[in-house]
Amino acid sequence: MLTKEQVIDILKTVEDPHLHKTFAETNAIRDIKITDKLVSLKIALAKTRTPEQMRVQQEIVNRLKQNGAESVGLRFEQLSDEELDKLGGIPESGPQILSKASKTIFIAVASGKGGVGKSTVSVNLAVALTRLGKKVGILDADIYGFSVPDMMGIENRPKVVNKRILPVDRFGVKVMSMGFFVEDNSPVIWRGPMLGKMLNNFFSEVDWGELDYLILDLPPGTGDVAMDVHSMIPHCKEIIVTTPHATAAFVAARAGAMALKTEHEIIGVIENMSYFVSKKTGEKEYVFGKGGGEKLAKVLNVELLGQIPLGQPEEKPGVFAPSVYAGDHEIGQIYLDIAGKIVKKLEQ
For residue 92, the model assigns a pLDDT of 60
Q: From CA 321, how far away is CA 316, in angstroms rounded?
A: 9
pLDDT band at 336 (very low <50, low <70, confident <90, very high): very high
pLDDT tens-digit map of 247-274: 777 777 777 777 766 667 899 999 999 9
Q: Could you tell me where the DSSP H helices lie in the chain?
A: 4-11, 23-26, 51-66, 81-86, 118-131, 148-151, 192-204, 224-232, 246-261, 292-300, 330-347
pLDDT band at 234 (very low <50, low <70, confident <90, very high): confident
Say if residues 114 and 145 touch (Cβ distance below 8 Å): yes
pLDDT band at 217 (very low <50, low <70, confident <90, very high): very high
For the purposes of burial, counting CB atoms within 10 Å of the CB of 227, is it exposed (0-12), middle (13-18) or buried (19 or more)? Answer: middle
Please state, rounded to an integer, the average pLDDT across all residues of the chain: 86
Torsion on CA atoms 94, 100, 101, 103, rounded to nearest 10: 110
Q: What is the mean pLDDT of residues 66-74?
A: 90
pLDDT tens-digit map of 13-27: 999 988 888 999 999
pLDDT tens-digit map of 152-198: 999 898 998 888 889 999 999 999 998 887 766 555 554 555 555 67
What is the pTM (predicted TM-score) of this model?
A: 0.72
Contacts for 302 with CB less than 8 Å, ≥ 6 apart: 266, 267, 268, 269
- DSSP-derived pairing of the beta strands 213-217 and 136-140: parallel
* Percentage above 90 pLDDT, the chain: 48
For residue 131, the model assigns a pLDDT of 97
Q: What is the mean pLDDT of residues 36-62?
A: 89
* Three-class DSSP category at 338: helix
More confident residue, 315 or 122: 122
Q: Up-side HSE of residue 302: CA atoms within 13 Å toward CB?
A: 28
For residue 113, the model assigns a pLDDT of 78
Structural domains in the chain? Answer: 4-86 (3.30.300.130), 96-347 (3.40.50.300)
Instruction: Find, among 317, 302, 315, 309, the residue nearest to 333 by Cα.
Output: 309
For the purposes of burial, counting CB atoms within 10 Å of the CB of 103, is it exposed (0-12), middle (13-18) or buried (19 or more)? Answer: exposed
For residue 306, the model assigns a pLDDT of 96
Q: From CA 238, how far away is CA 121, in angstroms rounded?
A: 13
